[in-house]
Amino acid sequence: MLEKYLNEVKELLTLVEKEEGQKMKNAARALAECIQNNGIVHVFGCGHSHMLGEELFYRAGGLAPIKPIFVEDLMLHKGAVRSSLMEKQNDLAGSFMENADIRPGDVVIAASTSGRNPVPIDVAEISKESGAFVIGITSPRYANTQSSRHKNGKYLYSSVDLTIDNHIEPGDALMEHSALGIRFGSASSIIGFAIVNSLMAEAVEVMIANGFEPPIFKSGNVDGAEQHNRELVKKYKSRIPLLEG
């Protein structure tokens, strides 16, 4: 089963590369343009999807102007069932997005595999209204097998400027066993991490090609990194207060 799971993940990664490659390159160009023009890349997700923001933020080898939109009530550690119920609430996003400081020229990455719940949809809509370019990481196939929970019948894929399909099947479970009546073995987080890290790597290449030095954090566990990282924090802390805490 271990080998089967890993093979399924490899096949999914290959599928995403083949089917989403051009859209990912387009997204990376938008990211590069944003950063070159002193914009900020905001990342949002509920539940497990919020980990995409964690993955990119203040990351060794990662780009500095990344701002996760963390809402603790929508994360699992404040109560798993409660957070899931809150994600389904219409108009909740407005209560925290008013302080998100989304500006024209920024990029927002909104992640939701099912794409049917109101909060990530509203985050995308509010971000677009604020002038940001919005990238959605979601599964349109998953969404289209389920009714929308949004009051206006929207899905995430229809509320963003550019959709990257993570190709996750409805239910987000790769595996099955003859002794069980339920599928298991999720993959949305692994595929999501691969997508966002691929976007950042491609954006770095675009910036280099444009003659712009990408603002990349060095590992804090490597000698000589402290001053380099301090300068990046100084540059971006006014728009990303989380860098200093």
Q: What is the predicted pLDDT for the residue at 223?
A: 92
The pLDDT of residue 178 is: 95
Q: What is the pLDDT of residue 245?
A: 67
Read off the pLDDT of residues 164-194 as tens digits, 9 standing for 90 and up.
999 999 999 999 999 999 999 999 999 999 9
In our burial notation (b when 16+ CB lie closer than 10 A, e otherwise), range 13-46 reads beebeeebeeebbebbbbbbbbbbeebbbbbbbb
pLDDT tens digits, residue range 110-128?
999 999 999 999 999 999 9
Gap between the Cα atoms of 99 and 124, Å rounded: 15
Q: Which two tokens stand for residue 79?
A: 């109560």
pLDDT at site 25: 98
Q: Which residues of the chain have pLDDT under 50?
A: none
> Average model confidence (pLDDT) for the chain?
97
